[in-house]
Structure 1
Amino acid sequence: MEKKGCYHCGNEITTFNRIVFDEKEFCCNGCKTVYEIFSENDLSCYYDMQQAPGATPEEANGKYDFLDKSEIINKLLEFDEGPTSIVSLYIPHIHCSSCIWILENLNRLNQGVYRVLVNFPEKKATITFNKEKTSLKEIVLLLNKIGYEPYISLKNYDDKPQQVDRSLIYKIGIAFFAFGNVMMLSFPEYFNIDDIWMRQYKDFFRWLILIISLPVFFYSASPYYIAAWKGIRSKNYTIDIPMALGIIVMFIRSAVDIIFDLGPGFFDSMTMLVFFMLLGKLFQQRTYNFLSFERDYKSYFPIAITKLVEGNKEEPIQIYDVVKGDRLLIRNQELLPVDSILISESTFIDYSFVTGEAVPVEKKSGDKLFAGGKQVGDIIEVEVINSVSQSYLTQLWSNDVFQKRVDMKYKTITDTISHFFTPVLLTISILGFIGWSFVSINAAFNVFTAILIVACPCALALTAPFTLGNAIRILGRSSFYLKNVTVVEQMAKVDTIVFDKTGTITTNAKSIIQYEGEELTSEEQSDIRNIIRGSNHPLSRKLYGFLQARIVAKPNTFEEIPGQGLVGTMNNRSYFIGSQELVGIPHDKIINETAVHIKIDGEYKGKFVFANHYRLGVKELFEQLDKKHYKFAILSGDNDGELEALKALLPPSTALVFNQKPEQKLEYVKELQETGANVMMVGDGLNDAGALAQSNVGVSISENVNVFTPASDAILDARKFAYLEKFMDYSKKSVKIIKLSYILALTYNVIGISVCLLNKMSPLVAAIIMPVSTISIISFVTILTNYFAKRILK
């Protein structure tokens, strides 16, 4: 009977199940149908990325009829506004680049799908779709039809804790039980006990040992066989291949010894090997879970929101303190942190962070507003209906739409080492087996097995994630919150730092404000205060606290012009509040100073002049950066009124650039990058969003209230601004730790393999040393990252 592999899924084809279509062979009609779908929609290059990447599709047969019920759909959807809905589905079959490619091109199979973002490590696909053109059920059925059946359990969407996968614990338990009993039954063999009783029961004990070892070989060790097979199919030569081969060789050799009465075999070594390898896997998993914290608002973000308390008094509170029933003020360009009900008359909500659609949606009083929407226009009041959705906001901040395509060199190094390590290891082990087979076949098997076990690139693969994972946790404790671990490495490469001036190197908390011009009436002051109430610009926040009027009212119109100021109407009077250009001061009469100018009903009234206070430690920070040979620049939307003060404060090498609009800041960063500079941009809000996105590393400074900017890679608590140079130094030390741990891991492998080639190490000792080496590398990088943290960040 001729045997071949299915063109779609790779499963075995025999004479009885062969289906030929388009000169290709398939194992069933389901695989043939999937191939037809992909071919008809010009998606056949799915098969070019990897041989037989698909899975055999299963028949639905009414399995997803529950998706016709709106109450169930509402539990599954993460976002539902107008025609746009978003759902995240767990798809177990995601395993290679072909899977990512076909899922992210799902819109070519269903026109109602806008886009799909695949989270490969979590095997999750976030699907944005138009519910007027398709439905959740149709999408799920399509996924099922092409072999990517999602796992949907409504338990995942309840408030109850999710079920924990305990299969690894069960495998360890069985392996522990087996190796303990096998060793106990092997004691007579260990001590060469030779009496009548032992000779009578020797065969019984050996066969009992074989039977006890079977669950370990077929069940406990199964993850290694599965991973090795997937690696062979995808031509990705992972460490699981030599591990699986070592276990199989030991089992076959031991079974042959017992069946043909050649000896007791190595079942004690095999069961203990599997136990220690699984124990090492459990340790890695638990430690990684500990270090890889969820970067959510409740635990880490210092961003606050404004809450209305008794008497309509405004009180800034931390986001994690927001509870159902609270009334919040949301200013222009602020992000809604929670699902809420609109109390104000009307507003426009920009859901582009969530849906990718930039057109704001008009909302009326009583409408539901979803977390993640950005308020556009005048200040609004909302009532909270859900507590802060940490995982949803974390997902929003980590959304691939806002991720920068950064160079992840450490991953490339790890992948390269792992890719070449396995073929080299197999070659050495085979040569060792051949060489020792001329001396003793038993010694040859011992050498072959020991090499496969002791040489473990797990340490090579884990050193970068563990080092950077611990570093990001330590930096978070120091109030510097990074989006992901790649930011640590990017920071280590930075050679140029660009700072915004207002609100970044100056503090929003302290300023001396003086008014110059025609005296403002109490009504005009009240109108000005109510208009700037909706703005988050640092000068607006300072002026809002300075004005004494306390009558709260809603402007008739409100518009914030980035880089210029505010335009609004109140009590049938028009107000222009902002820069000299906004109020129409002629260019030849512009004065160099930091001020907010007032124009009412076309008549210039006067200006509020600000004497800026620079953040504590700014001078020392720039001196430290200068000593470390960083290049840096100050960008400001203001004029050069503080040029002399800045020159006295900053090193002579500092580039000072004034009158910069938001798009000019972005262009400045881009020009630096074109000269080969690796740029960090440090800003504080809306005016810096473009430059933050353009830079290699964007850092957003946060005080009491801030605009949420997904373009940033990190959020720095303003109180820790003077620590920036220390954070940069720590990132460089973290990268050095990675390189040092690579050297340590490779040294261990060279020594271990050399000892095995000399037949000085048994498979049992190798099995014990292998997880110990991994634990030692993890401990090494953890201790060093903590040591440098205490030394640098003190």
Structure 2
Amino acid sequence: MLQTAHLETDVHTCYHCGDECNSTIIPFDDKEFCCDGCKVVYELLSENDLCTYYTLDNRPGISVKDPIASARFQYLNDPKVQQQLLDFQNDSVSKITFSIPQMHCSSCIWLLENLNRLNAGVTDVRVNFLRKEAALTFEHGVTNLAQVVELMAHIGYEPQITLADMEAPAPKQDRSIYYKLGLAGFCFGNVMLLSFPEYFGGLQHSFGRFFGWLNVLLALPVFFYSARGFFTSAWQGLQQRIINLDVPIAIGLLALFSVSLYDIATGRGPGFLDSFTGLVFFMLIGKYVQRRTYDSMAFDRNYTSYFPIAVSVLKNGQELPTSVKELQKGNRILVRNHELIPADSILMRGTANIDYSFVTGESVPVARVAGEVIYAGGRQLGEGIELEVVKEVSQGYLTQLWNHANFKKDEKQTVENYANAVGKYFLSVTLLIAAGALWYWVPRDTDMAIEAFTSVLVIACPCALSLATPFTLGATLRIFGRQKFYLKNSGVVEAMAKADTVVFDKTGTLTEPSAAEINFIGHPLSSQEEQLVRSVLKHSTHPLSQRLYSSLKGNPQPVLEFLEKPGAGLKGIVGDTLIEIGSGTWVNADFTSSSDVRQTRVYISLDGKVRGYYMFQNVYRKGLKELVQELGKTKKLAVLSGDNDSEEARLREFFGPDAEMLFNQSPMQKLEYINHLKAQGRSPMMIGDGLNDAGALRQSDVGLALTDNVTGFSPSCDGILDAHQLTKLAHFIRFSQTSLRLILAAFGVSFVYNIIGLTMAVMGEFTPIVSAILMPVSTLSVISFAVLSVKIAGRRAGLR
């Protein structure tokens, strides 16, 4: 009877989802499951050697008690539905972004990213845990959208697909941080209020125990809900044999709560629950600011306010440069050679040759004819094409390209890891001090030894350290953003601070694209011939081409067999005439260079006959000389140009005799020069126009694309700088160095408080009133120091 009673009260939990097996227990493989659905999922994972899923988190699975009917997802095979849902589709692969609200732990991420082992048609899955999203790529010749969604539903991660997704998909925000922050703030305020009698010793005898237990009730939801993320992060770090900053934070919070609970239960004292709830509250503020900071760094917060790119909209036969954020469905746009398609569109005119390497990784261009859909993210190679926008601007999708793994660099320790690096040493020192206090007090006073030991763990909680980085970075990026300087991620801040070599492209970077004196030397062109030349120039995005295009007159005509070779020239057939435009070598001109000629030349050839060349007297950007002089004080300078060396003398007036200058450089030669610098142990920063310099920008430690009004967006760069702000580049570099120093200074402020607190803890003088004053003051001081110091530093640097 006793054994039977024990079995009846024993609680059985499902091995897969962790739910209680209230009715029938289904045994399988020495494990218990609550339903056939969970058992089938386990079998599926086991057969595909995916049971690591269960080792990453305790009971990670999602209950799948309800059977999944295949017919539920047949509507996803409808081409019209797919057109609304898919981010991209070509002859072989499709890409789609799912919202998966069931995602809750590292096991979920691991299983979703290994979905290809359950369905061979799935080629890539990238999970954004904060947004509860998964960007999935699959081969529709092997599987289809309905089968993929059915599989995800079968394992407990059915995507959330609603009517809203068919119209204008918008990512759902994870609002748990707001709930945790609100709960912690409410409990913190009330615990402080109930602790006032203890601070002043007036009512502790009558109501101390009663208020103490009320504080415990208020602290429990903070411990189990608001602070859960810190404990989870610390545990996951330890599982991966990594000591992140959340490890000492978790130890400190656990010690603070445990000591308080023990003191109140035994009547020894009021505990430190006011400090516990306050610290959780302030750290959650830091997490919130950190999320906002990361959003801004990842360009997820508001894409159109960060990318100063525009597109040429055709209205009444004229080209109107229009901001991407103002592009609307139905607009007719012109996309030139090497420009990205900003939104899903239908080809209306021209021959499309689309490079989708940013999307699929496949570099072979895809030909498209009039009437076909061209997806956002493709880059046109060849003549300019006219498109009609059929979807709103795919801002989120272009953001994915910007942050795609293909364009990520092998970054060393970034500024966010400063705190984690400090955390390792902080934990070691804390434990040594705690052990030292215990060793000192045990022979003298056992109670004091325990109090000193726990007090060290409590007071040494490095909460302020965790706040220094996000608040400092947040303030820094806001200042950069106001100056129209937009960085790709936090690693760029440190890379800028460490760069010791600045490499400039010349055309379109050092020169002003919209200003130049242009003269034609040779056999004059007729107005009809100028019209033919202008027709070919229309399809190029090179700054010289655009400058010459603006200076000529005539209505452009259709161009056949357009070809542009970066760094050389372009050609195309207009009517029956072959037009070649570019360097003397490109058009096979018989020319001689004179050392006193300082103009850039663009040669013109009609049907194989060189007619002459346009001479460009370059106009360099205002403030360039002052910028170069300032940078030259601390950096090695270099200039890479695809043009000839006719401008070298003028450039030497700006850069001086020590700067390295290379001319007639192809895009590959620019990339090789950057690699050569890195092989020498240097840290190069490349400033270019983002088009012909894409390889060099990507290979540099910092690649900045300069933009004027209309430019080709390049995922290869690390940041975008408004051309009118180029003269402030030296200020930006110095300010990035200042930001790193301010983070370390904020660490120093935190250490000062920790030294004071640890001294009092070792001496046994750590009391509730000391805790109530020292801990919040420490946290607020670090936050205030981070924000105010960055603001003051920005003002002194002239960045407001």
TM-score, normalised by the number of residues in structure 1: 0.85
| Structure 1 CA distance for aligned equivalents of residues 677 and 380 of structure 2 | 33
Preserved CA contact (<8 Å) 1:156 1:162: no
- Give per-residue Cα distances to partners, 1:106-158, cap 9 Å, x unaligned: 434432122233446656432211233223454455556778x3663648846
2:172 is aligned with 1:168: no
- Say if 2:534 is the partner of 1:529: yes
Deviation at 1:544, TM superposition (A): 0.3
Shift of 1:447: 4.4
Match of 1:214 in 2: 217
CA–CA distance in structure 1, aligned partners of residues 547 and 624 of structure 2: 20
User: How is 1:232-271 mapped onto 2 (pairs within 5 angstroms)?
Assistant: 232=235, 234-235=237-238, 236=242, 238-250=247-259, 252-254=261-263, 256-257=265-266, 263=267, 266=270, 269-270=272-273
Q: Which amino acid aligns with 2:283?
A: K
Pair 1:575-2:575 in alignment: no
Distance 1:350 1:441, change over 3 A: same
Aligned to 2:601: 595
8 Å CA contact retained: 1:249, 1:449: no
Asked if the contact 2:625–2:654 (Cα under 8 Å) also holds between the matched residues in 1, the reply is yes
Cα distance in 1, alignment partners of residues 197 and 593 from structure 2: 99
CA distance in 1, matches of 2:158, 2:202: 52
For the structure 1 residues 330 and 64, does the alpha-carbon distance in structure 2 shift closer, same or farther, using more than 3 Å as the test?
farther
Tell me which of 490, 495, 499 is aligned to 1:490.
495
Note the alpha carbon deviations across 1:673-724, whole angstroms, 9 max, x for none: 1111111111113221111111111111111111111111111111112222
Query: Which residue in the other structure is 1:681 paired with?
Result: 686
Q: Equivalent residue for 2:731?
A: 726
> CA 1:73/1:450 → structure 2, altered by over 3 Å: closer, same or farther?
farther
Q: In 1, Cα distance between the equivalents of 2:748 and 2:442?
A: 33
Q: Distance in 1 between matches of 2:148 and 2:91?
A: 18
CA 54–369 in structure 1, closer or farther in 2 if over 3 Å, else same? farther
Q: Which stretch of the first structure deviates more once superposed, 713-722 or 118-127?
A: 118-127
Once residues 585 and 486 of structure 2 are traced to their aligned partners in structure 1, the CA distance between those partners, rounded to angstroms, is 37
Aligned residues: 766
Contact map agreement 1:446 1:762 (CA 8 A) in 2: no
Change (3 A) 1:576 1:754: same
- Structure 2 residue 564 is the aligned partner of structure 1 residue 564: no
**Whole-angstrom distance in 2 between the partners of 1:763 and 1:19:** 53
Q: Is 1:301 equivalent to 2:307 in the alignment?
A: yes
Instruction: Quote the Cα distance in structure 2 between the aligned partners of 1:653 and 1:355.
Output: 43
1:113 to 113, 122, 131: 122
Superposed displacement of residue 307, structure 1? 1.7
Structure 1 window deviating more from structure 2 (654-663 vs 157-166): it is 157-166
Q: How does 1:361-510 map to 2 (within 5 A)?
A: 361-422=366-427, 424-425=429-430, 428-429=433-434, 432=437, 447-448=452-453, 450-510=455-515
Q: Distance in 2 between matches of 1:368 and 1:599?
A: 36
For 1:125, which of 123, 134, 139 is the aligned residue? 134
Instruction: Pick closer, same or farther for the CA change 1:427–1:154 going to 2, 3 Å.
Output: farther
CA contact (8 A) 1:698 1:713 kept: yes
Query: 1:567 Cα deviation (Å)?
Result: 1.3
Q: Can you list the C-alpha shifts for 1:77-96, whole angstroms capped at 9, x where unaligned?
A: 43344442223345665755
The alpha carbon displacement at 1:589 in A equals: 7.2
Cα 1:775–1:64 change in 2 (3 A) is farther
CA offset at residue 249 of structure 1? 1.7
Cα separation, 2, equivalents of 1:30 and 1:753: 54
| AA at the equivalent of 1:288 | Q
C-alpha displacement of 1:603: 1.6
Residues 183 and 678 (structure 1 numbering): CA distance in 2 closer, same or farther, change over 3 Å? closer
CA distance in structure 2 between the aligned counterparts of 1:692 and 1:38, rounded to whole angstroms: 43
Moved more, 232-241 or 334-343: 232-241
Which whole-Å deviations, capped at 9, do the CAs of 1:3-28 have from their partners, x for residues lacking one? 9xx9x9898999x999897xxx8666
What SS is found at the alignment partner of 2:604?
strand
Letter aligned with residue 289 of structure 2: T
In the TM superposition, what is the alpha-carbon distance from 1:753 to its structure 2 partner? 1.6
Between the aligned partners of 1:524 and 1:229, the Cα distance in structure 2 is 71
- CA distance 1:10–1:684, change in 2 (3 Å): same
Deviations 1:432-489 (A, max 9, x none): 4686677777766654554333322232233233323322221121122111111010
**Gaps (5+ residues) in structure 1?**
258-262
Residue matched to 1:617: 623
Task: Work out whether residues 242 and 426 of structure 1, in 8 Å CA contact, stay in contact via their aligned partners in 2.
Answer: no
SS in structure 2 of the partner of residue 558 of structure 1: strand
Contiguous gaps of at least 5 residues in structure 2: 1-5
Structure 1 residue 75, shift from structure 2 partner = 5.6
Structure 2 counterpart SS, 1:325: coil
Q: Secondary structure at the match of 1:410?
A: coil
The secondary structure found in structure 1 opposite 2:622 is: coil
The verdict on how the C-alpha distance between 1:322 and 1:408 changes in structure 2, with shifts beyond 3 A counting, is same
Structure 2: distance between partners of 1:53 and 1:253:
28
Whole-Å separation in 2 of the counterparts to 1:161 and 1:368: 24
Cα pair distance change 1:772/1:393, threshold 3 Å:
farther
Q: Which amino acid aligns with 2:662?
A: V
From 281, 284, 292, the counterpart of 2:283:
281
Q: 2:501, 2:684 within 8 Å by CA — same for their partners in 1?
A: yes
Q: Which letter does structure 2 place at the counterpart of 1:583?
A: V
From 643, 649, 670, give the equivalent of 2:648: 643
Correspondence list, 1:43-82, <5 A: 55-56=60-61, 58-59=63-64, 61-62=66-67, 66-70=72-76, 76-82=85-91
Structure 1 residue 411, shift from structure 2 partner: 4.1
Shift of 1:43: 7.0
RMSD value over aligned CA atoms?
4.0
Give the aligned partner of residue 360 of structure 1.
365
Normalising by structure 2, we get a TM-score of 0.85
**Cα distance in 1 for residues equivalent to 2:590 and 2:49:** 60
CA, structure 1 residues 685+277, in 2 after alignment: closer, same or farther (shift >3 Å)?
closer
**CA distances 1:60-81 after superposition (whole Å, capped 9, x unpaired):** 7445865433377666543344
* Alpha-carbon distance in structure 1 between the residues aligned to 2:83 and 2:261: 54
Letter of the 2:121 counterpart: G
Task: Give distance in 2, aligned partners of 1:465 and 1:170.
Answer: 20
